A and B are shown apart, each in its own frame.
Chain A
């Protein structure tokens, strides 16, 4: 029997197999897709930390795929979208069916599918493939771009209403009350693969040598010590920031995640229409046409793109917060921006990041008279 829960991302109540009980605090992260360079440092950081055993060869708990053609597993998102009846958004409320509501029609817990092994086997398929064709002599001016692609880094979303958890007949999956991290209890898992079918993001994966399913653990041993996850800390492009998200009505101005997600609405959930209330939020790529983005990040996407393009340059707080991404190994729970310097504080209130919004730049003369040479690089 389904229960009624409130999902703020779809602006309404929805059906879910369990009571809606939010954890004391909820793990969350913001990824800025505009800055990702697909270097895959994150994927390797996770892989060497967690999935270098037998049976884990094909696993990337963190993966980076090129949209629109990439997918790990292949076409995971389009497969799930196709399973849900077409439904739109009206005034911020999703009018279609979530994976749970679709499933209920058929006395199931979550709508989904089990990918074939081959679909997991080409994590880089579609990499750097553009949408559209480049005409000879084509010159791109302005935004959005007529031809485009972008990189989408993905980990488990540690959803508020996890599809994986809903699907497990053995209750081997649980959401930690202290931080909202979703884990598969290896001692209870019997390898039925229901969670893989039930997760719309395809983040649980089956290990054929242990006969059990595994998933991203949000690097909880690091998190428990106040340090950001491997994939977040090691990110070369500094596109990521980890923290805690409050429910919208309890949003706090000085919480970096709340500020980006709830207050400025710059970071958006991935496929909110699936209904799991995912907790990794994305700053959408500003060069991609709106219809595609709307399908992926919901109706707030045009506003978010506008904020990023128009407000950030003259907004010291947003600018400060954005340069603070990747500036400390520690989880930044609070921040403030003063006189063009952003300050980040850890959970104990200790200053752990101090970043100027403008890098001091020295411009040197083109010609060095002392050495009698011309400089190639003057900044």
Chain B
């Protein structure tokens, strides 16, 4: 087993599972698809260098950083490609989403079902910092603009995941592991559409106005707000594995997406320093790791159904150049 497969196996219980698959003596018939999975996992893990040996570089700029994907500050900044794999489920799957023949899964008790036959978007990542703020822009193809989260539709969404500890082996790139939390930033296309006053669902499901509205509505919504704040387009979580996603009390990441030419470009912006112990921390001249998840609402992506990068992508942050350099 190569090194990269090993750290994939750092996820909760993954080591035993992967080991068992690799050991034909377990008496289990290895179906051809299964072998493909394992090989492919190794290949994906092995392609970490395709993000470049050094991974993503966060370049220094002396200028201001904004949420605008069209900001000229991005001109000429190198874009790093990231490869994703379709994860069909981490836990239960909904009935009709996956044709059985294209569903490949690890054996018994597995939580992860990968689908290797379906294409994924290929995000390109640009990153900048100015000593105080860090901005990460992800651009990826998406054939449909899905800005609705309704009883029967799902939104487009993009998440970045950072380990809290700086060893890539410490935490699983698949949502962290027990005792090894990860910090997740998720941008949501439906929230942004609402902030922009573009709530498309109003046409299909008009909202009650005035006297028909019960006071309970306000009480419930104050207690369980959908968004962290009325202008939020992103949410920050901390997680220690699947099913442990917890919304942070301090929400300090901002994000904005723009759709054009069949692509979303989404910029995340956060202060590099943070007092919140569940926040990822960034330091000029420092390192971190990053993972990406893309949900295509049009394909029914939600929760564990998404395209993800399977291994940590190393991120190096440029030091602030000394004066006169």
Residues of B within 8 A of A209 (CB): 207, 221, 226
Given contacts A106-B100, A191-B149, contact A52 B216 (CB under 8 A): yes
Contact A210 B216 (CB under 8 A): no
Which segment, of A108-116, A258-266, A315-323, faces chain B? A108-116
Given contacts A108-B93, A113-B95, contact A210 B100 (CB under 8 A): no
8 Å CB interface, A239-275 against B = none
| A311 located at the interface, meaning its Cβ lies under 8 Å from any Cβ of chain B in the complex | no
Given contacts A53-B220, A112-B95, A169-B242, contact A208 B149 (CB under 8 A): yes
* B209 (CB) vs chain A CBs: closest residue: A54
Which segment, of A192-200, A219-227, A230-238, A285-293, faces chain B? A192-200
| A120 located at the interface, meaning its Cβ lies under 8 Å from any Cβ of chain B in the complex | yes
* B227 (CB) vs chain A CBs: closest residue: A211
* B93 (CB) vs chain A CBs: closest residue: A108
Distance (whole angstroms) from the CB of B108 to the closest CB of chain A:
7
Contact B304 A169 (CB under 8 A): yes
Residues of B within 8 A of A170 (CB): 243, 245
Given contacts A52-B214, A107-B110, A205-B151, contact A167 B243 (CB under 8 A): no
Provide 13 A-B residue pairs closer than 8 Å at the C-beta atoms, listed in order of the A residue: A55-B207, A57-B206, A58-B151, A103-B92, A106-B100, A107-B93, A111-B95, A114-B94, A114-B152, A116-B152, A208-B150, A209-B221, A211-B227
| A206 located at the interface, meaning its Cβ lies under 8 Å from any Cβ of chain B in the complex | yes
Distance (whole angstroms) from the CB of A191 to the closest CB of chain B:
7
Distance (whole angstroms) from the CB of B242 to the closest CB of chain A:
7
Distance (whole angstroms) from the CB of A293 to the closest CB of chain B:
27
| In-complex Cβ contact of B224 among A115, A116, A210 (8 A) | A210
Residues of B within 8 A of A50 (CB): 216
Distance (whole angstroms) from the CB of A275 to the closest CB of chain B:
15
Hey, which bits of chain B sit against chain A, CB under 8 A? 89-96, 98, 100, 103, 105, 108-110, 113, 148-154, 201, 204-208, 212-214, 216-217, 220-221, 223-227, 242-243, 245, 302-304
CA distance A84 to B109 in the complex (A): 23
Contact B205 A210 (CB under 8 A): no
Contact B151 A109 (CB under 8 A): no
CA distance A56 to B220 in the complex (A): 12
CA distance A106 to B205 in the complex (A): 34
Residues of A within 8 A of B243 (CB): 169-171
Given contacts A1-B109, A169-B242, contact A208 B92 (CB under 8 A): no
Residues of A within 8 A of B225 (CB): 210
| A361 located at the interface, meaning its Cβ lies under 8 Å from any Cβ of chain B in the complex | no
| A376 located at the interface, meaning its Cβ lies under 8 Å from any Cβ of chain B in the complex | no
Residues of B within 8 A of A15 (CB): none
Contact B149 A117 (CB under 8 A): no
Contact B221 A210 (CB under 8 A): yes
| In-complex Cβ contact of B303 among A55, A111, A194 (8 A) | A194
Residues of A within 8 A of B223 (CB): 186
Residues of A within 8 A of B105 (CB): 107
CA distance A112 to B96 in the complex (A): 8
CA distance A191 to B297 in the complex (A): 13
Residues of A within 8 A of B220 (CB): 53, 186, 210
Given contacts A53-B220, A169-B91, A170-B245, contact A211 B205 (CB under 8 A): no
Contact A117 B113 (CB under 8 A): no
| A83 located at the interface, meaning its Cβ lies under 8 Å from any Cβ of chain B in the complex | yes
A159-174 to B contact mask, C-beta < 8 Å, 1/0? 0000000110111000
A97-138 to B contact mask, C-beta < 8 Å, 1/0? 000000100111111111111001000000000000000000
* A185 (CB) vs chain B CBs: closest residue: B224
CA distance A190 to B295 in the complex (A): 15
Distance (whole angstroms) from the CB of A197 to the closest CB of chain B:
4
Residues of A within 8 A of B204 (CB): 117
| In-complex Cβ contact of A52 among B94, B213, B242 (8 A) | B213
Contact B212 A190 (CB under 8 A): no
Given contacts A116-B152, A120-B151, A208-B150, contact A190 B303 (CB under 8 A): yes
CA distance A329 to B92 in the complex (A): 41
Q: Which 8 A-B pairs have the closest CB atoms?
A: A53-B217, A109-B92, A169-B91, A52-B214, A211-B226, A192-B303, A206-B151, A186-B224
Residues of B within 8 A of A197 (CB): 94-95
| A363 located at the interface, meaning its Cβ lies under 8 Å from any Cβ of chain B in the complex | no
CA distance A299 to B208 in the complex (A): 45
Contact B103 A106 (CB under 8 A): yes
Given contacts A58-B205, A191-B149, A206-B150, contact A1 B221 (CB under 8 A): no
Known: A117-B153, A192-B302, A196-B151. 17 other contacts (CB 8 A): A1-B109, A54-B208, A57-B206, A58-B151, A58-B205, A108-B93, A109-B91, A110-B92, A112-B94, A117-B150, A169-B90, A169-B91, A192-B303, A193-B154, A198-B92, A208-B149, A210-B224
